[in-house]
Amino acid sequence: MKSFFLLLSLTWLGTTFAQVQEHFLVTSNSSIRITDPICKKMAEESKTEIQEEIKRLNKKQKKGDINLKNLRLEQQSYFEAIQTLGNNPEINFAPYSLADALIRTYRQTVEGPIYLSLQKITLKSLGAATLEISINDIQVSSSESAMDVVVKNLKNPSTPAQTIHFSCPTGRLLLDNSDSGRLAWLNFWGEFFQEVKALEQLEKVIMQVDPSLVTADERDRQTDEVLSKLGLTSKEYLSKGTEQARKLLKDVPYQIPFNQVIGVFISKDEQKLSLLSGSSEPEIQYDGEEEISYLNFQSTRWNFEKKDGHWHIYYSNHYTADSLTVVRSFYNAGIGSDKRYSEENWVNENEAENLSELFNHIEFVHEAATVETQTLIRTEIQPKLAKLFSEGNSAYDHFCQRISQQTSSYWDEQQTEKFIFKDVLISNPEKTAFIFPVILNNKEVQNEDVYYSSNEDFKFYALLKNTDGSYTLYDWYYFKPLSYWSNYSLLRCAETHLKHISNFTEDQEIINDSAFWDNYIFKRSARGYDYLTQVISANESIALSKSEFDAQVQDCIDILLEYDVVDLYDHQLKQILRCINTIQKGKLTGVQNTKLITLSQELHFQKRLNKIRTADKNYYPQLNLEYGEPMTERSYYLIH
């Protein structure tokens, strides 16, 4: 059951900066006849329930939880309407339900406040009503529920009133309302107005009586025209805004779906942003044994606010079948009463949304690490990975060390998600080698056929101290990247991997196990490190000695002779690509070099590679390498 107190919170959803205001007076005569026994019982039970709810509401007011002086006049009018409902529920259930629907509908149309009076104007500060909607001759029998609704323009009494008759089978309403719980009679009238499409008809009649109150269709047409003139819905605006947001939020350690953004607002000082993302999700419903499949559009409203140098995130999810309405509603928040763009409008709405229980709050907490750890990560690791992932063809767009996620809801019943981060390095006792466990965010979901997919990977990097005191960052590929889910723990994942080859537990910062370091980190052969590859950017090449390169080539030959290409690991594929590219680019001769090129051709290496890795021309995104010319420096070795 939807809370009947929702009207009290509706005002923040609309624009309140214009001077235009409306005052709806919703009335009914005392002629209400209920002959259906089920409905009679429902009405009596709901009468008792609503009076209990009103008592609880009034207790909150007496305790100071609700302070009318702090409510805007618009909200005070809604509070007064609830009191009127409680004073005489029998004749007010239907008018209140209709008033609720009217306010929801015209909240998106009327740019100023909408005041409400039920039965009569009890708050003199509201002034005269502008429109009266009167419900007459309510009848509920076992066969039919019906009423007449009269619409009058009180601003211009000479305008002829309009009358509409609504009716529908009572049984259909009882069927739809069979599982409605408390306040079932209020829900009954909500179902009635929905069944007879009351708002669709009332909008047209109200527009005839008062042309300033336009229908939803006319409002949408006007809104689309304004948004188009302002350029807010253009592809260029969206593209530029999304790219700017991506840059501003690049250090936010959270997965933001930039590739799904369909709306964007950014404040001039770049301290506040609002994004709208959307995607169609498959849904299945069952009607008896019949399976019905359809696409459900899920949108998410994201609000970002920078406080004390840190970003705070607020978000709210919505489901609808109409993506156009979602986009229109989002951008409409930035339109002022003069039909021009107004940053003040959407910023105020943004702030109000952040305080509402409809928006979840994401809080980032960074736990302190040792100065040594922080310094090494900030100076030797983060810059290299940031540069690597900033490249347009990178498979990842950001990285973080999120050690846990907590969910709580202590503040205004608003759910708060707390993400805890910590700089983590696992070292040898000599502090000459460090393991960096990290979470990487994929730019794209890796498997689009999976409804719920992890968009993050867990992997290790290694940082080694050189003899001259400098450091080199390596990709430690002994373990394959692991799909990382939100309920995982970074340190627990590290332990799960490392416990099989060392004595590491998640509470350790040092692995005092020389066999581990010698066999899995420092281990070398003729071709160089066995499990490490240097992290380089697109304009850098891995440097090898002549003997190391020859050993790499021989290893590639052995791999191709022993295994099928489709069964190879990424580090093996990268090694083969780099060796072939180096030979062809440098036009290297020699028996082994020629043998590798010939073998790759005989085994149709590229054709087999294309079966397991998607190529963009000659570039393989998952390997981050080109095969053949043109190629960047990263795709071949530098022999010295």
For residue 321, pLDDT beyond 80: no
Q: How far is CA 335 from the centre of its chain?
A: 23
Cβ distance 424 to 373 under 8 Å? yes
User: Can you give the length of the chain in residues?
Assistant: 640
pLDDT score, position 314: 93
Same structural domain for residues 272 and 181? no
Question: Do 29 and 67 sit in the same domain of this protein?
Answer: yes
Q: Is residue 352 part of a domain?
A: no
> Can you say how many angstroms the Cα of residue 540 is from the centroid of all Cα atoms in its chain?
36
Q: With beta carbons less than 8 A apart as the criterion, state whether 189 and 93 touch.
A: yes
Are 330 and 368 within one domain? no
The mean pLDDT of 290-305, rounded to a whole number, is 83
Phi, psi at 25, each rounded to 5° = -110, 115
Question: Domain boundary at 496, 514, 535, which?
Answer: 535
Domain presence at residue 345: no
* Cβ–Cβ under 8 Å, residues 132 and 25: yes
Q: Is residue 220 part of a domain?
A: no
Mean pLDDT of the chain: 88
| pLDDT of 418 strictly over 90 | no
Asked if 378 and 311 sit in the same domain, the reply is no
Q: Does the pLDDT at position 448 exceed 60?
A: no
The tokens describing 137, both together, are 């001759």
Average pLDDT over every residue of 512-529:
97
Residue 399: closest CA among 441, 435, 363, 362: 441
pLDDT band at residue 19, thresholds of 50, 70 and 90?
very low
Residue with tokens 């140098």: 309
pLDDT at 158 over 90: yes
Judged against a pLDDT cut of 70, whether residue 176 lies above it is answered with: no
The encoded tokens of residue 483 equal: 């799909």
Residue 238: closest CA among 322, 344, 327, 312: 327
351 burial (CB, 10 Å; 0-12 / 13-18 / 19+) is: middle
Quick check: is 379 in a domain? yes
Place of tokens 């309920």: 487
Place of tokens 């740019």: 111
Domain assignment of residue 19, yes or no: yes
Looking at the structure, do residues 318 and 381 belong to the same domain, yes or no?
A: no
- In angstroms, the CA 345 to CA 139 distance is 44
Give the span between the Cα atoms of 67 and 51, in whole angstroms.
20
Q: Is residue 326 part of a domain?
A: yes
Q: Is 534 helix (H, G, I), strand (E, B) or coil?
A: strand
Strongest mean pLDDT among 54-68, 139-153, 215-229: 139-153
Q: pLDDT above 90 covers what percent of the chain?
A: 64
**What's the pLDDT score for residue 1?**
38
| 348 assigned to some structural domain | no
d(CA 484, CA 490): 9
Position 410 scores a pLDDT of: 47
- 180 with 236, same domain? no
- Of the candidates 535, 565, 600, which is a domain's last residue? 535
DSSP bridge partners of 151: 133, 162
Whole-number pLDDT of residue 288: 63
Tell me whether residue 548 is exposed, middle or buried, using C-beta atoms within 10 angstroms of its C-beta: 0 to 12, 13 to 18, 19 or more: buried
Closest CA to 316 of 234, 415, 228: 415
Shared-domain flag, residues 142 and 10: yes
Tens digits of residue pLDDT in 65-122: 778 777 889 889 999 999 999 899 989 999 999 999 999 888 877 777 899 999 999 9
Q: What pLDDT, on the 0 to 100 scale, is given for residue 95?
A: 96
Where does a domain end: 535, 553, 582? Answer: 535
Residue 287 has pLDDT above 80, yes or no: no
Minimum mean pLDDT range among 7-16, 159-168, 243-252, 524-533:
7-16
Please say whether the beta carbons of 463 and 472 come within 8 A.
yes
Of all helices (H) and strands (E), which one includes residue 150?
A: strand 144-153
Query: Could you give the CA distance from residue 473 to residue 471 in angstroms, rounded to a whole number?
Result: 7
Digit-coded pLDDT (tens) for 178-200: 555 678 999 999 999 999 999 99
Contact 106, 114 (CB under 8 A): yes
Kindly give, in sequence order, each residue whose CB lies less than 8 Å from that of residue 58, ignoring residues fewer than 6 positions away: none
Q: Report d(CA 345, CA 106) in Å as an integer.
A: 18
pLDDT grade for 14, boundaries at 50, 70 and 90: very low
Q: Which residue is it, tokens 């350790």?
A: 508
Q: Structural domain tally of the chain?
A: 4
The set of residues, in sequence order, having a beta carbon less than 8 Å from that of 66 and lying 6+ positions away, is: 57, 60, 79
Eight-state DSSP code of residue 126: G
Query: At residue 360, does pLDDT exceed 60?
Result: yes
* 424, 436 contact by CB (below 8 A): yes
Q: What is the 3-state secondary structure (H, E, C) of 442-457?
A: ECCCCCCCCCCCCCEE
Domain assignment of residue 283, given as a range: 225-340
Q: Which of these, 543, 545, 579, lies nearest to 559 by C-alpha position?
A: 579
Whether 591 and 560 map to the same domain: the answer is yes
Q: Which residues pair with 311 in a beta bridge?
A: 306
Q: How far apart are CA 573 and CA 566, in angstroms?
A: 10
198 plus 108 within the same structural domain: yes
What is residue 256's three-state secondary structure?
Answer: coil
Q: Can you tell me the distance from the alpha carbon of 52 to that of 49, in angstroms, rounded to the nearest whole number?
A: 5
Quick: pLDDT tens for 589-617: 999 999 999 999 999 999 999 999 999 99
Q: In terms of domains, do 529 and 544 share one?
A: no
Chain centroid to Cα 422, Å, comes to: 24
Same domain, 198 and 229: no
Residue 1 lies in a domain: no
What is the average pLDDT across 573-582?
98
Element (H, E) at 95: helix 89-107
pLDDT at 49: 92
Shared domain for 528 and 585, answered yes or no, is no
